[in-house]
Amino acid sequence: MNIALIAHDKKKDDLVRFAMAYTEILKDHTLFATGTTGLRIMEATGLTIHRFQSGPLGGDQEIGAMIAKNKMDVVLFFRDPLTAQPHEPDVSALIRLCDVYAVPLATNMGTAEIIIKGLERGDISWREIIAERNAEASKDFKK
């Protein structure tokens, strides 16, 4: 599964600790993250992470593009609800895309833990069915 890891500045420490706690689950998946968040998680856990730009510089939109192409299966986005974000429209667009494409989204540690445990149990395997269906549709379209 493809998993996006994103955190606002005041939540980066929380996401790093979360990734450290669940490294054994995360290591079996393909990980993507926005700039600094990805670097901090890689340094703390040794996980391999494809890093995009930082959120305000377009990283949120890069992840959004993957969602729109059904190439992202889970988004863990630790948001800071108490601090105004200059790129709030990008954040809202990312959340909207998760809703449109039925991508499980956690915006806090509590929900992230439920999703990661579900991922470990195979509860999110339906995303693989969607990916297979989209691959077949793509083949049919190219014919």
pTM here is 0.89
Domain count of the chain?
1
Mean pLDDT value of segment 25-32: 97
State pLDDT tens for residues 63-93.
999 999 989 999 999 999 888 877 787 889 9
What is the spatial order of strands in the sheet that 2-7 belongs to? Answer: 49-51, 30-33, 2-7, 74-78, 105-106
Give the confidence band of 141 by pLDDT, cuts at 50, 70, 90.
Answer: low
Structural domain containing residue 21: 2-142
Q: What is the CATH number of the domain that holds 90?
A: 3.40.50.1380
Catalytic residue positions?
A: 60
Strand-pair category, 30-33 with 105-106: unpaired
CB 33 within 8 A of CB 4: yes
Percent of the chain's residues with pLDDT above 70:
94
